[in-house]
Amino acid sequence: MLTFFLLHYLNAFSSWVGMIVSVILIFYCLAGTTLIREVRMVFLAADKSLEEGQKQVARIVGRDTTQLTEQEVRLAALETLAENLSDGVIAPMFWYLILGVPGMLAYKMVNTLDSMIGYKTEKYRLFGCVAAHIDDVANYIPARLTSVLMILVSGKPSLLAFIHKYGKAHASPNAGYPEAALAGILNCRFGGAHTYFGEIINKPYIGDNTRQLTSADMKTAFSINQGSELIMVLLTILVRSFIL
């Protein structure tokens, strides 16, 4: 609410000042480039040694990484990349389209709270579920939009059936869709049992090909992410230009 009134005042004072502040806020709300850099570092570290890969991927995932295999390190990084495309880029821009900068900032607060306490563990189950459910509602449309954008960039419309099959099988009502899109594009398998805060959480498998991932898969995932972001940016500019 404070942000809304601040932007309203700045726009009344000077439309250019209001626009500049809005652009700065949008920039800081998007996390696509940062995570691409982190995922690249995970793959480079895993190429050197398993221990370095485990330490590097621990920077971007909430699961216990000390027992992950080299394949699981790479899978964890790409799963996070796919989910972050929705949570960190497409969803903020979607809410910017709907409610402007205040809506985008409100979404980021909800998403951050979910990433901190929205786990189905004994420690967070009672109060973390509230944050998780709010985040589920906020991401319902963006997650599905993200998967469509990814398939559009890949040029493989036949994968829509794959997304329909595996997207809804995920424990999360939303995260499964972008993950399923990337799993289908890379022809690999995400999911499985992982440890969070000392408790084992079983996630349904997405896909069925257990092939080993390589740096080529990482580059493909980057291309898909960047292409999806570009389309969303162009869509945002187009829609906002008609609104304004």
Q: Tally Cβ neighbours within 10 Å of residue 97.
A: 17
List the beta strands (DSSP E) in 113-232. 190-196, 199-206
pLDDT of residue 112: 77
- Per the CB < 8 A criterion, the answer to whether 145 and 165 are in contact is no
Mean pLDDT of the chain: 82
Whole-model pTM: value is 0.81
Residue closest to 81 by CA, chosen among 38, 110, 117: 38
pLDDT of residue 24: 52
pLDDT tens per residue, range 47-69: 999 999 999 999 998 888 998 99
Cα separation, 131 vs 231, in Å, equals: 29
> Which 3 state secondary structure label does DSSP give 203?
strand
Helices (H), 1-90: 2-13, 15-29, 32-48, 50-57, 70-84
Stretch (H or E) spanning 215: helix 215-243
pLDDT of residue 62: 81
pLDDT of residue 121: 54
Looking at the predicted structure, is the pLDDT value of residue 7 above 50? Answer: no
- Per the CB < 8 A criterion, the answer to whether 110 and 135 are in contact is yes
Looking at the predicted structure, is the pLDDT value of residue 118 above 80? Answer: no
Cα separation, 129 vs 117, in Å, equals: 8
Q: How much of the chain, in percent, has pLDDT values that exceed 90? A: 48
Distance of CA 147 to the CA centre of its chain: 11
Most confident of 32-36, 127-131, 135-139: 135-139
Q: Determine the average pLDDT of the residues in 3-26.
A: 48
Residue 168, CB-side half-sphere exposure with 13 Å CA sphere: 5
Cα separation, 9 vs 15, in Å, equals: 10
Most confident of 10-19, 33-42, 117-126, 145-154: 145-154
